[in-house]
């Protein structure tokens, strides 16, 4: 039997990380079993539809390297793969269920239902559709239809007994029908199926063997099984996945900017790092491996190692992965990715980006930190003369005065054309030696004067090189004034 999994998102906005992870597991499972990964767009709830959301889904999956074998844009033997384009497919099955007594027409208006619900709730009960229309005769049904009264088709759910099924993550599940079932709508007044109906029809018609989806569907699965049975269809294997959470009590949220794939891309995380980490939120390889390419994930993935407890998505851990991935990038790739972030504060005409990239790569955890880390190159920050004081280097503003006075003529004596790191290094070292100083006692104040901060990518020489002669000397002069004023 060929394994066929599907990812069935609703185009309601950006791609939630929970969705990306569901897609990932479905993809991995299909690939591992040399099966097919199918993309189906579930857009029957037209009110929730968001323009452009389908493209976001395509784009996200592609960027993540989860290429689908069948889907809306590439077609396949079970198309169309967009539910709104399959509208005509569902009705015959609903009619078949009406004939067999598993479903029925309902003509209740929203207002009528609201009234009856209010009554039940006022009496302290929980509302469920009360099978009001179940016993309409065929003539009454025809009459109402002819009179143009809008109708839906509802499932005739059992009110007694229980339903059991096996879930590959959660094990054997049993639900009381009286609680888990209700006469849910299958076909809406606009003729569209509900998700509850369409997922069953489509999973069957598309030959889905393993249904992977969020655990919020665990308790509705008895209803779907009722439909499979009523239609005489085989029930697929179920793999329900625990929710991805920020911590034990908080979901990932839009407001905190940690819910969507695009949030992380905007911040400058790498897709590969995100996918690697996401795979481990709710699954473990059974050993201490942490780094996986997509191909390695396909190899290593094992449904038995999916966890039942909520997956905790720890942004710090992701950041750690991201830093590792950034460190492993080829230099050129790093520069390519960093360039737009460099451009936010600098320009390639005046700064040697390739050199800056070398200095920054080791220190970059997430690209959105980059502008803040290099802003001092564009503009000398305000700083306090106290920064010149460094116990270990034995410096203070007075020492800084001497140091800056010492290096000024040396640097002035270097031609613009010779302003390179080796030349800067040789000249500065020579003068430090000649003056009988310690390196730190000169280079620390120099670095403070030209960067205005205690922590920088690279040291005094690299920074002086990146700034260029004129700016370096200008900053030294300012530093000298500041140090003097503090003596």
Name the residues annotated as catalytic.
Answer: 254
DSSP string, 264-306: HHHHT--HHHHHHHHHHSSB--SSS-----HHHHHHH--GGGB
- Nearest approach, Cβ of residue 9 and ligand GLU (Å): 5
75 phi/psi in degrees, rounded to 5? 75, -160
Which residues are 5's β-sheet partners?
Answer: 37, 210
Residue 10 in the binding site for ligand GLU (CB under 6 A): yes
Q: State the residue number with the nearest CB to ligand GLU.
A: 213
Residue 213 in the binding site for ligand GLU (CB under 6 A): yes
356: CB partners within 8 A, 6+ apart: 342, 346, 374, 377, 457, 466
- Nearest approach, Cβ of residue 374 and ligand GLU (Å): 41
Residue 9 in the binding site for ligand GLU (CB under 6 A): yes
- Nearest approach, Cβ of residue 212 and ligand GLU (Å): 7
Binding mask 100-139 for ligand GLU (x = CB under 6 A): ----------------------------------------
Residue 44 in the binding site for ligand GLU (CB under 6 A): no
Q: Which of 156, 199, 221, 276 binds ligand GLU (CB under 6 A)?
A: 199
Residue reference for tokens 């000398």:
380
Q: Cis before residue 80, ω within 30 degrees of 0?
A: yes
Enumerate residues 168-197 that contact ligand GLU by CB under 6 A. 195
CB nearer to ligand GLU: pick between 228 and 419: 228
CB nearer to ligand GLU: pick between 71 and 479: 71
Are 271 and 63 in contact, with CB atoms under 8 Å apart? yes
Span of 6-14, 68-76, 119-127, 402-410 interacting with ligand GLU by CB under 6 A: 6-14
Ordered alpha helix ranges (H), 168-293: 177-180, 195-205, 221-231, 261-267, 271-280
CA distances (Å), 180 to each of 226, 241, 395, in order? 11, 19, 74
Strands 210-214 and 237-241: parallel
Q: Report d(CA 165, CA 218) in Å as an integer.
A: 10
CB nearer to ligand GLU: pick between 9 and 457: 9
Residue 8 in the binding site for ligand GLU (CB under 6 A): yes
Which residues are 174's β-sheet partners?
Answer: 164
How many residues lie near ligand GLU (CB under 6 A)?
7
- Nearest approach, Cβ of residue 391 and ligand GLU (Å): 59
Span of 4-12, 247-255, 322-330, 432-440 interacting with ligand GLU by CB under 6 A: 4-12
Span of 3-11, 300-308, 428-436, 438-446 interacting with ligand GLU by CB under 6 A: 3-11
Span of 8-16, 61-69, 122-130, 400-408 interacting with ligand GLU by CB under 6 A: 8-16
327: CB partners within 8 A, 6+ apart: 361, 362
CB nearer to ligand GLU: pick between 48 and 166: 48
Residue reference for tokens 């001092």:
376
- Nearest approach, Cβ of residue 238 and ligand GLU (Å): 10
- Nearest approach, Cβ of residue 270 and ligand GLU (Å): 26
CB nearer to ligand GLU: pick between 15 and 318: 15
Q: Report d(CA 14, CA 146) in Å as an integer.
A: 43
Q: Which of 42, 182, 202, 365 binds ligand GLU (CB under 6 A)?
A: 42
CB nearer to ligand GLU: pick between 213 and 447: 213
- Nearest approach, Cβ of residue 213 and ligand GLU (Å): 3
CB nearer to ligand GLU: pick between 10 and 361: 10
- Rounded to 5°, the CA angle 316-320-324 comes to 165
CB nearer to ligand GLU: pick between 204 and 317: 204
Burial of 417 (0-12, 13-18, 19+ CB in 10 A): exposed
DSSP string, 313-360: --HHHHHHHHHHHHHTS-HHHHHHHHHHHHHTT--TTTS-HHHHHHHH
- Nearest approach, Cβ of residue 189 and ligand GLU (Å): 20
**373 token code pair:** 């880390």
Residues that bind ligand GLU (CB under 6 A): 8-10, 42, 195, 199, 213
């Amino acid at each position: 039997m060929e394994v066929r999994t599907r990812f069935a998102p609703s185009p309601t906005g950006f791609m939630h990380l929970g969705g990306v992870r569901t897609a990932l597991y479905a993809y991995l499972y299909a690939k591992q079993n040399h099966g097919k990964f199918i993309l189906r767009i579930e857009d029957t709830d037209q009110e929730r539809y968001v323009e452009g959301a389908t493209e976001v889904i395509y784009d996200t999956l592609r960027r993540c390297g989860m290429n689908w074998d069948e889907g809306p844009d590439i077609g396949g033997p079970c198309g169309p793969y967009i539910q709104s384009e399959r509208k005509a497919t569902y009705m015959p099955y609903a009619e078949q269920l009406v004939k067999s007594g598993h479903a029925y027409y309902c003509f209740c208006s929203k207002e009528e239902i609201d009234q009856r619900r209010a009554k039940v709730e006022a009496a302290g009960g929980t509302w469920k559709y009360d099978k009001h229309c179940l016993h309409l005769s065929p003539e009454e049904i025809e009459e109402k239809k002819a009179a143009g009264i809008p109708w839906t088709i509802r499932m005739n759910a059992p009110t007694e007994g229980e339903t059991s099924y096996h879930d590959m993550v959660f094990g054997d599940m049993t639900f009381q029908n009286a609680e888990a079932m209700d006469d849910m709508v299958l076909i809406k007044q606009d003729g569209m199926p509900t998700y509850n109906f369409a997922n069953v029809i489509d999973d069957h018609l598309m030959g889905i063997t393993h249904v992977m989806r969020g655990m919020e569907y665990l308790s509705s699965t008895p209803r779907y099984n009722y439909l499979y049975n009523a239609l005489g269809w085989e029930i697929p294997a179920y793999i329900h996945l625990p929710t991805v959470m920020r911590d034990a009590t908080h979901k990932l949220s839009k407001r905190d900017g940690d819910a969507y794939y695009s949030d992380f891309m905007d911040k400058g995380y790498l897709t590969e790092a995100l996918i690697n980490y996401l795979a481990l939120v709710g699954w473990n390889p059974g050993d201490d491996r942490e780094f996986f390419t997509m191909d390695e994930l396909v190899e290593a993935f094992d449904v038995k190692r999916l966890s039942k407890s909520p997956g905790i998505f720890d942004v710090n851990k992701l950041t750690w992965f991201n830093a590792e991935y950034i460190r492993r990038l080829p230099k050129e790739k790093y520069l390519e990715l960093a360039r737009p972030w460099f451009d936010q504060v600098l320009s390639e005409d005046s700064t040697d980006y390739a050199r800056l990239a070398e200095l920054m790569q080791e220190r970059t955890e997430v690209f959105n930190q980059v502008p803040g880390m290099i802003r001092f190159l564009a503009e000398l920050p305000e700083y306090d003369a106290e920064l010149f004081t460094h116990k270990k280097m034995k410096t203070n503003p007075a020492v800084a005065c001497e140091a800056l006075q010492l290096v000024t003529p040396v640097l002035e004596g270097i031609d613009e054309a010779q302003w390179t790191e080796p030349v800067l290094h040789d000249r500065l070292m020579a003068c430090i030696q000649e003056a009988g100083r310690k390196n730190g006692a000169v280079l620390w104040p120099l670095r403070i004067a030209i960067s205005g901060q205690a922590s920088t990518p690279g040291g005094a020489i690299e920074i002086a090189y990146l700034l260029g002669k004129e700016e370096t000397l200008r900053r030294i002069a300012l530093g000298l004034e500041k140090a003097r004023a503090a003596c």
